[in-house]
A = this chain, B = another copy of it.
Amino acid sequence: MDLSGVFAPLPTPFDEQDRVDTARFSKAIARWVTTPLAGFVVLGSNGEAVLMDDFESDRVIVAAREAVPRGRTLIIGTGRESTQAAIKASKRAAEHGADFVLVRTPGFFKNQMTSDAFVRHYTAVADASPVPVLLYNFTALTGVNLQPPAVATLAKHPNIVGMKESGGDVAVIADLVNGTPKGWNVLAGTTGTFYAALCVGAIGGILAVACVLPDACVRLFKLTNAGRHDEARELQRQLMPITRLLGNVHGVPGLKAALRIAGYDVGVPRPPLAPLGDAAMDSIRAALDAFSNVTTTA
């Protein structure tokens, strides 16, 4: 049940006709599997899951499980707006080989998404899911907030074993760690505060940048755990420019562009998302080159 380490939230490849392309996905995963990443998240926010239907989702899960060897953790995103849809998706994911499901908060009916509503929703999902459940809070995208007190309540459920918190507020990470049992898995979702999140007790991270720079992210994790804070802080600093470009600035199109530059073929984003223009592509290439130069020299 230990989820320590760095996980990559994989993008879903679409081809030029806007179809899911599992062949490209299998090939890319085969390369990611050679890195020291602890495991993978499929159909998360970076996986454009909200742009896909359930048939496509199933195909992607099956392809991922075939490409990710047993023993390497595979987490499947199964968040849906309705409780019954989240349950169905979690059951299908489990059937197809998910080790964990990562369930983003519902967020459409914002005023009604109280802590009580979240506790009811996640309890129902966890009661029904054949595999352990990870909570998932991403306020910047959902507009709702699963707060530490509700998480403390949910952490008592035997089938809810951890959480991804995608906000950059390190005080919240600390609250989540302090409010849940020792060994409960609090995972950071923001690369830009990964070092600080580890300092305050996160057990690991699910980091978009880890798709592109898996070795660096794992090194940052290990340096911090080894108490080599000066080196960790410096590595975190070096990661900031590319982190920004792949985060708020360019999002999923930025991640797909960076992966193309890094030699992964993950196709194009699905409309209404659009591929990055040349200027943006150049800025990402420059940031990757700069990172590569500084770390090679060091």
Q: Which residues of A contact B (CB under 8 A)?
A: 18, 45, 50-54, 81-85, 106, 108-113, 116-118, 120-121, 124, 140-141, 143, 168-171, 174-175, 178, 190, 192-193, 195-196, 199-201, 227, 229, 233, 236-237, 240, 248-249, 251-253, 270-274
Q: Is the interface of A mostly helix, strand, loop or mixed?
A: helix
Interface centre among A45, A110, A113 (most CB of B within 10 A): A110
In the bound complex, how far is the Cα of B253 from the Cα of A52, in angstroms? 28
Query: In whole Å, how far is A133's beta carbon from the nearest beta carbon of chain B?
Result: 15
A192–B171 touching, CB < 8 Å: yes
Per a CB cutoff under 8 Å, which of B84, B116, B196 touches A170? B196
- CB-defined contacts of A251 to chain B, threshold 8 Å: 109, 111-112
Interface centre among A83, A195, A196 (most CB of B within 10 A): A196
Interface centre among A227, A233, A271 (most CB of B within 10 A): A271
Smallest CB gap from A199: residue in B: B199
- CB-defined contacts of A84 to chain B, threshold 8 Å: 18, 270-271
In the bound complex, how far is the Cα of B236 from the Cα of A251, in angstroms? 34
- CB-defined contacts of A270 to chain B, threshold 8 Å: 82-84
Q: How many copies of this protein are present in the complex?
A: 4
- CB-defined contacts of A108 to chain B, threshold 8 Å: 45, 50-51, 141
A199–B229 touching, CB < 8 Å: yes
Other A-B contacts than A84-B271, A117-B273, 9 sampled, CB-CB below 8 A, are A45-B108, A53-B54, A83-B270, A83-B272, A110-B140, A112-B252, A117-B274, A174-B196, A227-B227
A272–B196 touching, CB < 8 Å: no
Q: Evaluate whether A271 and B83 lie within 8 angstroms (CB atoms) in the complex, with A169-B169, A237-B174 already known.
A: yes
Query: In whole Å, how far is A24's beta carbon from the nearest beta carbon of chain B?
Result: 18
Interface centre among A201, A229, A248, A272 (most CB of B within 10 A): A272
Smallest CB gap from A86: residue in B: B272
Query: In whole Å, how far is A184's beta carbon from the nearest beta carbon of chain B?
Result: 15
- CB-defined contacts of A253 to chain B, threshold 8 Å: 112
The 4 closest A-B pairs by CB, nearest first: A51-B82, A83-B271, A121-B272, A170-B170
In the bound complex, how far is the Cα of B92 from the Cα of A193, in angstroms? 41
In the bound complex, how far is the Cα of B236 from the Cα of A196, in angstroms? 14
B233–A200 touching, CB < 8 Å: yes
Q: List 25 A-B contacts (CB under 8 A).
A: A50-B82, A50-B108, A51-B82, A51-B108, A82-B271, A83-B270, A83-B271, A109-B251, A110-B140, A111-B248, A112-B251, A112-B253, A112-B274, A113-B272, A117-B273, A118-B272, A121-B272, A141-B143, A143-B143, A174-B236, A178-B237, A178-B240, A195-B200, A199-B233, A229-B229
